[in-house]
Chain A
Amino acid sequence: MPARPAPHSSAPQRTADSGLTKATARRRNPQAFAALVGLVTVGLLAAGCTSTGGNEPVGEPTSGGTLTYASGDAEPSCLDPHVGGNFPQALISAQYLESLVSRNTEGQITPWLAESWTVSDDGLIWEFTLRDDVSFTDGTELNAAAVQANIAHLKDPTTLSSTGYLALGKVTGTEALSPTVVRFTLSEPDSALLESLSQPWLAIESPTALERSQDENCASPVGTGPFIVETWVKQNAVTLVRNDDYVSPPEDAGHTGPAYLDKIIWRFIPDSASRYAAVQSGEVDVIDNAQPDTIVQATQSDSIEHLDSPRPGSSNRIELNSGQVPFNDVRVREAFIRSANVDDAVSSLFHSTATRSFSALSSVESAAVSNAALFDYDPAAARELLDAAGWTETDADGYRVRDGVRLTVMFPVSTNQSIPAEQSVFEQIQATAKETGFDVQLAPMDLSSWYAALASNDYDAVSAPYTKVGPDVLRILYHSDSIVPAPSGYFANLAQVDDPEIDDLLTAASRTSDAAERASLYTDAQNRILEGFYILPLYDQQNHFLLRSDVVGFRTLPTVAVPTFYDAWLNR
């Protein structure tokens, strides 16, 4: 699903495979609100920011203590990420659920609940050998039947799974070959299967717990993870307690055995300024969705540290709708890209907290191809391209005109999904593109209206990131099949790239079992996408955490960059 950086107020998130978004809107004028809060916080907070001494040397980890986490994302309506499947669910469920496989920082798939696996030559039969020493926290044993029950749960329409359901599209059946070996049968080869299975939305839950009603399972899903859901007071907090019998950390974890923390209080604080004030005052220990202004302040404070962990999948980029005038002409697309001064906008508005991207993929994806030369700011070249494309006249307002029609770019902006800094970047792009003769019409709208605008093809440019593990996200975003709307009207190929050569490359990449061939196919596909000027990359999907300096051992999982507190301890 399309995933979005967390907005100032609450965070709508589109997650990996599904287009789910949960968001809370702010009041009538979010921009004015953000601006005012910004003024207040930047002015007053900066003045109030004081250093509290240098970092203490870190000793041996000590067990115990309660950590408070504050999420800016919306509170999930269900703590079981099989149901729906969005980013807020992934954030919290990574503390109590685990997947069959994981991924390391090099992008390689590593064992987790499955200790090994094999695939047949035709790529249609996968066999996973499970660890035989793992139990769920309700005492149920992890075995092949448990995995089967989870796949069945994800594929059952009454589970209402979107993300997990899509990821298992090619899996037709499962079979328990022995208590520890489970076989997946596929309808066609899927080179992204392991990457899909590593995502939190496909975590393995206790089959005993899954048999309860959905309401019960949503309130307290049962997994094999280092923490256990104890209570959930809706609209207030989820309390997680340590799993003392924990045995299954992933390979890249910092220790073995149970977690150090006794307890995690997981809160939801939608307002960015309040969230930062809460970590500043020590009321909470870790916050997510830190905004550029608060990150800058935090870097001046000794008591708060910053962790930047870009999400996998796509970069944040502006997609140009190549399915209709004016961007059905590659020269006009290139002209728009050349006329947009992105570098200055990003550096001035993100205060160096974001790095410019020149790729369709996130920088954490090893398959990412980056080509800065294609995205140079060059208004003179842009004007020549517009001349060549027939947009030769200029009207009284300075906009280019062809056959009496003004060169207009409709740009719907989701105020839920684009943080205030990003909306300001769009405004600067609007201003620089105007100098070349583009009339960019930014239309801020709430999430439902935004999706409606996309579904009715009422857009020329749009920004809609998508979180997924691995380069297969390219197939979702740029294969012509993805122009066909889902029953909801949603479609992922918003640039409406319809290029048989790209289709062939992406299809071949998703079917090959040869890693080198797969990488080369994705490279070719990305080059063709970038050279077709379908997208204007901006930066990675921003995912910033701020934490008290006495929280040690905090990191994110290299799968979808959600936090894990397994190694974390309090140095107090």
Chain B
Amino acid sequence: MLGRIAARLAGAVFVLWAVASVTFCAVRLVPGDPAQAVLGGPGSQASPEALAVVRAEYGFDQPVLVQYFAQLGRLATGDLGQSYALNTAVGPLVLSQLGGTLLLAVLALALAWVFALALATWSTRGGKIASSVGSGLEIVAAALPHFWLATSLIVVFSIWLGVLPPISTDGVAGLVLPVLTLAVPLAGFLGQIMRESLLVALESPFVLSARARGESERGVRWIHALRHASLPAISLSGWAFGSLISGAVVVETIFARPGLGRTLLNAVTLRDVPVVIGVVMIVAVTYILMTLLTDIASRLVDPRLRLI
């Protein structure tokens, strides 16, 4: 058991190191001078004096390898550095944006599960037509691009019906459309997987024996079959959480919501390396935690896994 935990921790550290390194290289490989980024963007007509000040202050005059190890050293001590463009420390900046994005992602994941469960149970019970409709809905939902869905929802609910704000507001109302935008395509994915495994489970011998014991149809579906059917979806939720964070880039931009996605987008454009790395690291950490959680959830749902 201890060995497993150690292996997992080592794996997590490796992932974080790899993420930091790949991000550092990726941002450095694209053209553009980081000193320019500090001074207001690549087209800056910054004076030589100002450029010199910035280069010395941020260590851009050092060789790239030195900068890389300096960066790793800071990260190892938990220091995410100083943003080039925003004149603030990256740690507090990223953490202040984390809450909004997490809220969005968690609500979207929960809503996607509700949609997917409802669709899967309904479409496996209602015969051929329900099955076709259900699978059709899932495919369409899964294929919807976030930006198209977001704009369509704004048109329908903000412009036509006038019931929900098209941009984020302080209240709950502003959350509805962004959460729907993220939840619907995900529900499509989850629903597809759940429905298929539900169908397999319903054909299984243990369902037959449950029925033979006199278990009600409801009991068969919700207690026995769904337990099996939800396993792949639980595993998928770890991945889904990651995709929700990337979806947040689009959704936060369209709905003008503060959050990690918008922070990341701005930072990439401005070549703000510390912020990019900071956001990516935080996302990687939450992703690792999420995977851990889905592992635990799988074990809770499936007693067979607890033996391993």
* Residue positions of A touching B, CB distance < 8 A: 1-2, 9-10, 12, 14, 17-27, 33, 36-37, 40-41, 44-45, 48-49, 70, 74-75, 77-78, 84-86, 157-163, 165-166, 214-215, 218, 233-236, 267-271, 273-274, 277-278, 280-281, 283-284, 416, 446-452, 486-490, 492
List B contacts of A19 (CB < 8 A): 43-45
A281 partner, pick from B96, B97, B151, B162, beta carbons under 8 A: B162
List B contacts of A9 (CB < 8 A): 253
| Residue of B97, B145, B166, B254 with most chain A CB atoms under a 10 A cut-off | B166
- Complex CA gap A19/B41 in Å reads 8
B43 touches A1 (CB 8 A): yes
Q: Name the CB-closest residue of A to B52.
A: A157
Is B80 part of the contact surface with A, judged by Cβ < 8 Å? no
B256 touches A218 (CB 8 A): no
**A44-B152, A236-B258, A281-B159 known; A215+B40 contact, CB < 8 A:** no
B155 touches A40 (CB 8 A): yes
Q: Do most interface residues of chain A lie in helix, strand or loop, or is the interface mixed?
A: loop
List A contacts of B155 (CB < 8 A): 40-41, 44-45, 48, 277
B42 touches A24 (CB 8 A): no
8 A Cβ contacts from B240-296 to A: 249-250, 253-256, 258-259, 262-263, 265-266, 268-271
A20 touches B44 (CB 8 A): yes
Known: A74-B266, A274-B151, A452-B31. 13 other contacts (CB 8 A): A18-B44, A20-B45, A23-B270, A26-B253, A27-B147, A160-B50, A234-B86, A235-B259, A267-B256, A269-B167, A277-B155, A280-B158, A447-B41
Q: Name the CB-closest residue of B to A33.
A: B147
List A contacts of B136 (CB < 8 A): none
B53 touches A160 (CB 8 A): yes
A21 touches B42 (CB 8 A): yes
A486 partner, pick from B31, B46, B85, B93, beta carbons under 8 A: B46
- Complex CA gap A49/B155 in Å reads 10
List B contacts of A218 (CB < 8 A): 87
A488 touches B262 (CB 8 A): no
Q: Name the CB-closest residue of A to B252.
A: A235
- Complex CA gap A281/B173 in Å reads 14
B51 partner, pick from A70, A268, A416, A488, beta carbons under 8 A: A488
**A74-B266, A235-B97, A274-B255 known; A162+B167 contact, CB < 8 A:** no
**A529–chain B nearest beta-carbon distance, Å:** 21
A21 partner, pick from B41, B87, B88, B253, beta carbons under 8 A: B41
**A44-B155, A447-B269, A448-B31 known; A160+B54 contact, CB < 8 A:** yes
Q: Could you list some 27 contacts between A and B, CB below 8 A?
A: A10-B253, A10-B269, A14-B43, A19-B45, A21-B42, A21-B43, A23-B269, A33-B147, A40-B152, A40-B155, A84-B44, A86-B40, A163-B45, A234-B86, A234-B93, A270-B262, A271-B256, A273-B154, A273-B254, A274-B167, A278-B256, A281-B158, A447-B269, A448-B271, A449-B31, A451-B42, A486-B45
A273 touches B151 (CB 8 A): yes
B45 touches A22 (CB 8 A): no
B42 touches A214 (CB 8 A): no
- Complex CA gap A235/B99 in Å reads 13
| Residue of B40, B154, B249 with most chain A CB atoms under a 10 A cut-off | B40
**A279–chain B nearest beta-carbon distance, Å:** 9
List A contacts of B51 (CB < 8 A): 487-488
- Complex CA gap A277/B256 in Å reads 12
B: interface residue count bin:
35 or more
A162 touches B50 (CB 8 A): yes
What 0/1 pattern do residues 159 to 197 of B give for CB contact below 8 A with A? 110100111010000000000000000000000000000
A235 touches B262 (CB 8 A): yes
| Residue of B45, B46, B47, B268 with most chain A CB atoms under a 10 A cut-off | B45
B269 touches A25 (CB 8 A): yes
A283 touches B166 (CB 8 A): yes
- Complex CA gap A277/B156 in Å reads 11
B43 touches A447 (CB 8 A): yes
* Residue positions of B touching A, CB distance < 8 A: 30-33, 36, 38-54, 85-88, 93, 96-97, 145, 147-148, 151-152, 154-156, 158-160, 162, 165-167, 169, 249-250, 253-256, 258-259, 262-263, 265-266, 268-271
A36 partner, pick from B54, B148, B266, beta carbons under 8 A: B148
- Complex CA gap A162/B15 in Å reads 40
- Complex CA gap A366/B293 in Å reads 67
- Complex CA gap A26/B253 in Å reads 9
List A contacts of B265 (CB < 8 A): 24-25
A283 touches B152 (CB 8 A): no
- Complex CA gap A19/B44 in Å reads 4
**A27-B249, A48-B155, A488-B46 known; A84+B40 contact, CB < 8 A:** yes
Closest 4 CB pairs of A and B: A84-B40, A448-B32, A157-B49, A452-B31
- Complex CA gap A157/B262 in Å reads 31
| Residue of A233, A234, A449 with most chain B CB atoms under a 10 A cut-off | A234
List A contacts of B96 (CB < 8 A): 234
B47 touches A162 (CB 8 A): yes
List B contacts of A74 (CB < 8 A): 266
**B98–chain A nearest beta-carbon distance, Å:** 12
- Complex CA gap A236/B256 in Å reads 8
**A157-B47, A277-B159 known; A162+B40 contact, CB < 8 A:** yes
- Complex CA gap A167/B303 in Å reads 73
A274 touches B258 (CB 8 A): no
- Complex CA gap A452/B48 in Å reads 18
**B70–chain A nearest beta-carbon distance, Å:** 22
**A42–chain B nearest beta-carbon distance, Å:** 11
A416 touches B269 (CB 8 A): yes
List A contacts of B167 (CB < 8 A): 70, 267, 269, 274, 277-278, 283-284
B50 partner, pick from A86, A161, A233, beta carbons under 8 A: A161
- Complex CA gap A274/B46 in Å reads 34
- Complex CA gap A215/B93 in Å reads 14
B160 touches A274 (CB 8 A): no
